[in-house]
Amino acid sequence: MSAVMGVDSSTQSCKVEIRDLTTGRLLGSGSAPHPPAFPPRSEQHPSDWVTALVTAANEAMGACDERPDVRAISVAAQCHGLVLLDERGEVLRAAKLWNDTTGAPNLARLVERIGARRWVMRIGTLPTAAFTIAKLAWVAEHEPGLLDRVSTVLLPHDYLTYWLTGEKVTDRSDASGTGYFDATDGQWIPSYLELAAGDRNWSARLPTVLGPTDSAGTVRPAQAAELGLGDGILVGAGGGDQHAAFLGLGLTDGDQYFSIGTSGVVATSSRGPVFDTTGAVDGVADMTGGYLPLMSTLNAARVVDRAAALLGTDLAGISELALAAGPTQGPVLAPFLDGERTPDRPDARGALADITSATTREELARAFLEGPLLSLLSGRDALLACGVELGGGATAVGGGTRSPAILQLLADLLGDEVTLPDVDEATARGACIQAAAVASRTDRAGLVDLAKRWLPDARVRVEPRKHGRNIGALRTRWASLASSPVLDGGGVS
C-alpha cells in the first residue's frame, strides 16, 4: 500500500503518522518523548530529536496492519529554535528553543538599532525573544568563539530534514519566524544577522528556501534503514508546527484556529501579507504560498497543569471544578507564569486578582483555565485590528482541548460554536499532506485541494452556554490586570 509519513517534532515529543497516499486514512502512529526544557534557558540537543524520530517512526511502522510502501516524508517542528553546525555538519551546541528567553536583552538592543516599525514592515513581524535572531545574538555575546566555527544556521525542522537527506534547506513558513527572512520577497536579510552577530558571510551559512511542494531530496540509505523504510523516499520541505497543523485541518482564509498546547496560538490564513506595527501579530508565511497571521503566547496548557497541582486535583478534576463555577464574575488570572511572548514581557509573572472571602475552588479553577483563553482572545482582537478576516468557524486543537472545560469556556468567551476536529495530531497530519503532494508531484493548488479532500470530521461541537456572566466586563478587567507593570516586578495585584 502506497503511503506517506508525517513528523511532528514538538517541544515535548516526536509524533509520527503514516497515512494512505490516496485517501489519507491513518495506517499507524507512534510517539517518543523529548527531554524536558523550561524557560528561561530552554535547550535540547538535536541528537535527542533524532533518537525520538527513529523510535516514533519504528513504532508507527509496527502499528500498521501491513507494511506500507512509504513514498515520501515531511517534517514539521517547533519554530524559532537555533541549531548551529560546523563545516562537517556536526552540531556545535544544544539547540536553543523557542521558549528560551535568555536573548531578551539582545533582542531589545536589536529593536533599537533596526527600529520596530522598519523591522515589521520588512518581515511582517516584530520579533520577540522567541525568535531565532535573539538566540543567535545571545550566542554572539556569551559564546563568541563558537561563531567562528559555525558553518550553517538551521531551525529544528531543517535539522531533521538535513539528517534525513544531507541537504541544508528550509521553507517559507519556518524561515519567516527567524527575524531575518522577508517572506514577501522570499529573501534572507544578512544585514540583520550582521547587526545581531557580527560581520560574517551569513548568506553562505543559511539554508536554501524551498517552495510548498518542492522536494528536499531523498532519504539517505543509512537513515532509511534506521527508520525501517525502503530506498528512494522523497522528503518534503517541511514547515513550522502551527503552520502544518493549519494545513492538516483543511482550514482556509478567515477560519479561526485556536491551538492550546505548550504554547497558545490564534491564527487564520490570508493571501496577502499582514503588517502589525504594534508587534502583537506575527505576519508569518504559511505552507501553501500564502500567509498565516497569528498571535502566539508562551503560557497555555501548562497553566492548567499548575492549577491542578495547586488545587490538589488532576486534569479531569480541574475541568469539573471549572465547569461547576456559578454565574459570578469571579477571580481573574493574568497567566504569565513563565514570562510572556505576546505581549513581549519575558520577565513577567502571573497575577491572580479579585479574590474575596467568598471565592470558591470552582471559581479559582475557572480563572486558571480562562486566563490563557483570554490571552488568545486578546490576540484575536489584534488580528481583527489588522484588518484580517475572521468570519469563519472556530476550530480548537492541542493537548489543552482534552479538557471539556477549555472547550466550553472558549465557546462561552467567543459567544459562538467551537469545533474539535476528529484529529489527534494535526501537525503530523499536515506534514503527511505535504508529503503526499510531494509524492504526487503536484503544485501549490494541488496541495490545497489535497488538504480539502482530507478534511477531517468534527469530533465535538460545543455551543456557548447561557452563563449569566458579563463577558465584556470580564475581558476589560483581564486586560487591565494583564497590562499592569507590577507583573514585571514579580508582584501580585
Grid cell listed for 316: 479531569
Question: Which residues on adjacent β-strands are paired with residue 268?
Answer: none
| pLDDT tens figures, 191-212 | 999 999 999 999 999 999 999 9
Q: How many CB atoms lie within 10 A of CB 220?
A: 17
Q: Hey, is 42 helix, strand or coil? A: coil
pLDDT tens digit sequence for 2-11: 999 999 999 9
Grid coordinates in use for 242?
502551527
| Every domain of the chain and the residues it spans | 2-244, 251-422+463-493
2-244 with 251-422+463-493: one CATH topology? Answer: yes
Q: What one-letter code names the amino acid at 179?
A: G
Per-residue pLDDT at 25 exceeds 70: yes
pLDDT over threshold 50, residue 490? no
Q: What pLDDT shows up at residue 133?
A: 98
Judge contact between 258 and 394, C-beta under 8 A.
yes
Binned at pLDDT 50, 70 and 90, residue 13 comes out as very high
Q: What is the Cα–Cα distance from 491 to 493, expressed in whole angstroms?
A: 7
* 352-357 long-range contacts, CB within 8 A, separation 24+: 352/492, 353/477, 353/481, 353/493, 354/329, 354/330, 354/477, 355/331
Choose, from 241, 255, 276, 344, the residue flagged as catalytic. Answer: 241
Mean pLDDT of the chain: 95
| Per-residue pLDDT at 261 exceeds 90 | no
Average pLDDT for 259-267: 91
Select from 223, 281, 255, 284 the least CA-distant residue to 75: 223
Q: What's the rounded mean pLDDT across residues 76-94?
A: 98
Reported as a single tens digit per residue, the pLDDT across 157-194 is 999 999 999 999 999 999 999 999 999 999 999 999 99
Three-state DSSP class for residue 491: coil
Distance CA 263, CA 42 (A): 14
Query: Are residues 56 and 14 in contact, defined by beta-carbon separation less than 8 angstroms?
Result: yes
Confidence of residue 398 (pLDDT cuts 50, 70, 90): confident
Percent of the chain with pLDDT over 90: 92
| Residues facing residue 84 across a β-bridge | 153
Give which of 101, 14, 7, 23 is closest to 456, Cα–Cα. Answer: 23
Relative to beta strand 394-397, strand 418-421 is parallel
| Helix (H) / strand (E) containing 6 | strand 2-9
DSSP 8-state assignment for residue 207: P
Q: What is the mean pLDDT of residues 442-451?
A: 93
The CATH architecture assigned to 2-244 reads 2-Layer Sandwich (3.30)
Residue range 376-399: mean pLDDT, rounded: 95
Residue for cell digits 465547569?
323
Nearest to 72 by CA among 202, 199, 217: 217
Residue with cell 513550522: 240
Reported as type and span, the H/E element at residue 452 is helix 444-453
- Provide the H-helix boundaries in 86-234: 104-114, 116-123, 132-142, 144-147, 156-165, 172-175, 190-197, 221-227
DSSP-derived letter for residue 94 is P
Distances (CA, A) of 215 to 106, 170, 207, 229, 240: 36, 11, 14, 18, 16
Label residue 492 by pLDDT band (50, 70, 90): very low
Instruction: Give the count of beta carbons closer than 10 Å to the beta carbon of residue 22.
Output: 12
State residue 399's pLDDT score. 87
Query: Is 493 a residue whose pLDDT tops 70?
Result: no
DSSP sequence for 386-409: TT----S-EEEESGGGGSHHHHHH
Contact 179, 98 (CB under 8 A): no
Nine cell digits for residue 134: 535573539
292 and 364 Cβ atoms separated by less than 8 Å: no
Say which amino acid occupies 303: V
Strand 43-44 and strand 26-33: the pairing is unpaired
> Is 241 an active-site residue?
yes
Residue 263's pLDDT is: 85
Could you tell me which of 307, 335, 336, 309 has the C-alpha nearest to residue 322?
307
The percent of residues above 70 in pLDDT, for the chain, comes to: 99
Stated as kind and residue range, the H or E segment containing 74 is strand 69-77
State the average pLDDT over residues 310-337.
Answer: 96
The partner residues of 14 in beta bridges, in order of sequence, read 9, 32
* Contacting residues for 350 by C-beta, under 8 A, at least 6 apart: 299, 303, 333, 334, 335, 336, 337, 371, 487
CA 95/CA 97 separation, integer angstroms: 6
DSSP β-bridge partners for residue 152: 85
pLDDT tens digits, residue range 277-307?
998 999 999 999 999 999 999 899 989 999 9
pLDDT (mean) for 413-419: 98
Place of cell 554572539: 140
> Among residues 98, 167, 177, 155, which one has the least CA distance to residue 346?
98
pLDDT for 96 beyond 60 = yes
Rounded CA-CA distance 2/4 in Å is 7
Which has the closest alpha carbon to 305: 375, 379, 406, 376? 406
C-alpha span between 393 and 398 (Å, rounded):
17
CATH of domain 251-422+463-493: 3.30.420.40
Closest CA to 218 of 229, 228, 209, 207: 229
